[in-house]
Amino acid sequence: MELIGLLNYAVFMAIFIGIYSLLALGLNIQWGFSGLFNAGIAGFFAVGAYTSALLTAPESSVHLGGFQLPVVAGWIGAMIAAGLIAWPIGKVCLRFRSDYLAIATIGVAEIIRLVVKSEGWMTGGARGVNKIPRPFGDLTYLYSQLAYLALVVAIVFVVYLAIERQISAPWGRMMRGIRDNEDAATAMGKDIKARRLEAFIFGAAVMGLGGALFAHFNRSITPEAIDPMIATFLIWIMLILGGSGNNRGALLGVAVVWIIWSASEFVTDQLPTEYAIKAKYMRVFIIGLLLQLVLRFRPEGILPEPQGTADRPEVKTLQNQESAAK
C-alpha cells in the first residue's frame, strides 16, 4: 500500500516536471537563445490552459463552450492563442531593450488574470472550467496517470527535438548572433525585430502548450490554479540554474528545482500550523536568494551553453577589458 502511494506520488511529480519542462523550454527559446526577458510566463500558461479547456470541455451553463473538439485540437488551439497574444506585445516592445519587454509582459500576465477573473461568461469566473476531458482518463487511477505521463514525456521529447533542430539550424545561429552582438547582426543585414518576434511567439506557443497539458491533467482550471508570480519565478530559476541556452540544462534545472520546491513543502507541512504559513513564505524567500546566488557565482548554470567560449558573460567581460586596454 505504502509502495503504491509512493509510486503515485512519483508519477504525479514526474508529470509536473514534464509540464514545467515545456515552460522552461519555451523560456529557453526566448531568453536562452534570443535574450528576450519574459516576466509573464504565467499569463501565456493561463491562455493555453483556458483555450484548450474551452475548446474541448462539454457544454456548461457557467462558461463558454460545448465545442467538444478532440484534445489535439485543443492543444493546437492553445499554442495558436498563446502565440497570438505574444504577437502584438512583441511587435511593440521588441524594438527596445529587453527591460521594456519585461515590464510589458508583467502587464500582460496581469491583464490575462483580470480577464480570466472578470469575464465569467467565457471562463466561468472563480468556478473555472471543469470536466475537461483527459486522454486515457477512463483507465483506473494509476494506469491513467502512467499513460498521461508517457504522453507528456513524448510531447516534451518532440518539442525538445524540434527546438534542438531549430537552434542548430541557421536560424538558431542567427538568433545567438543577434543576442550576442546586435550591431554586428544588423551590419550583416539581419532583420533583428522580425527574428526576435519569431522567437518570442515560438516560445510563447510552447508555454501555451504547457498550460494546455496542465489543464487536461488537472481536469479543471480555475484562476487560483497557479500563483502567477511564483510560477513565473520558478521557471526562471529553473532555467538559470540548469543553464540557459542549453535545452538539456533547462530540463535538468526543472527537475532539480521542482524536487527542492516540493521537498521543502513536504518539510514545512510537518510544522505546526502557525509556523507552516510563515514557512511557506520563507520558501519563496529562499528561492529568491537561490537566484541571487546562481547569478553571482554560477551564471552559466549547471550545464553551460555548449560550444560557446565567446558568449559566456565572464569571457565577454574579459574581452571588454582587453579591448579597453588596447
Partner 1 sequence: MPFMEFVNFYLMPGIVLGSIYALGAVGITLVFGILRFAHLAHGDLATLGAFAALGVVTIFGVSPWVALPAAMVFCAFMAIGIDKLFYDYLSERPKIIVVMSSLGIALMLRAIVQVVWGVDTETYTRGIVRPDDYWGIRIRDREIYTIIAMFVIVGVLWAFLQKTKWGKAMRAMSDNPDLALLSGVDNRKITMLTWGIVGMLCAASGFFLGINTELKPLMGWTMLLPMFAAAILGGVGRVEGAVIGGLIVGIAEETSVLFIPGEYKAAMAFAILLLILLVRPTGLLKGKVL
Q: How many C-beta atoms lie closer than 10 Å to residue 98's C-beta?
A: 19
- What is the footprint of partner 1 within residues 140-159 (CB under 8 A)? none
Q: Is 271 in the site for partner 1 (CB under 8 A)?
A: no
- What is the footprint of partner 1 within residues 32-61 (CB under 8 A)? 35, 37, 39
94 DSSP 8-state letter: T
- Minimal distance in Å, beta carbon 198 to partner 1? 20
- Minimal distance in Å, beta carbon 158 to partner 1? 29
Q: Is 99 in the site for partner 1 (CB under 8 A)?
A: yes
**Cα–Cα distance between 79 and 182 in angstroms, integer?**
29
**Cα–Cα distance between 22 and 19 in angstroms, integer?**
5
**Cα–Cα distance between 98 and 7 in angstroms, integer?**
43
Of 47, 14, 24, nearest to 221 (Cα)? 47
C-alpha grid cell for residue 105?
A: 509582459
Amino acid symbol at 180:
D
Among 3, 138, 296, 325, binds partner 1 (CB under 8 A): 296
Residue closer to partner 1, measured from CB, 142 or 315? 315
SS3 221: strand
Find the length of the chain: 326
Among 188, 276, 289, 310, binds partner 1 (CB under 8 A): 289
Among 6, 9, 68, 97, binds partner 1 (CB under 8 A): 97
Among 281, 298, 306, 315, binds partner 1 (CB under 8 A): 281
- Minimal distance in Å, beta carbon 133 to partner 1? 30
Q: What angle do CA 24, 48, 26 make, to 5 degrees?
A: 20
For the chain, the straight-line distance linking the first and the last C-alpha, in angstroms and rounded, comes to 71
Among 14, 174, 284, 302, binds partner 1 (CB under 8 A): 284
Residue closer to partner 1, measured from CB, 82 or 89? 89
Q: Where are the alpha helices (DSSP H) in 28-70?
A: 41-56
**Cα–Cα distance between 178 and 191 in angstroms, integer?**
9
Residue closer to partner 1, measured from CB, 110 or 198? 110
Among 100, 136, 160, 171, binds partner 1 (CB under 8 A): 100
Of 147, 75, 105, nearest to 235 (Cα)? 105
Among 173, 193, 278, 298, binds partner 1 (CB under 8 A): 278
Binding positions for partner 1, rule: CB under 8 A: 35, 37, 39, 89, 92-93, 95-100, 102-104, 106-108, 110-111, 114, 117-118, 229-230, 233, 236-237, 240, 277-278, 281-282, 284-285, 287-289, 291-292, 295-296, 299, 313, 317
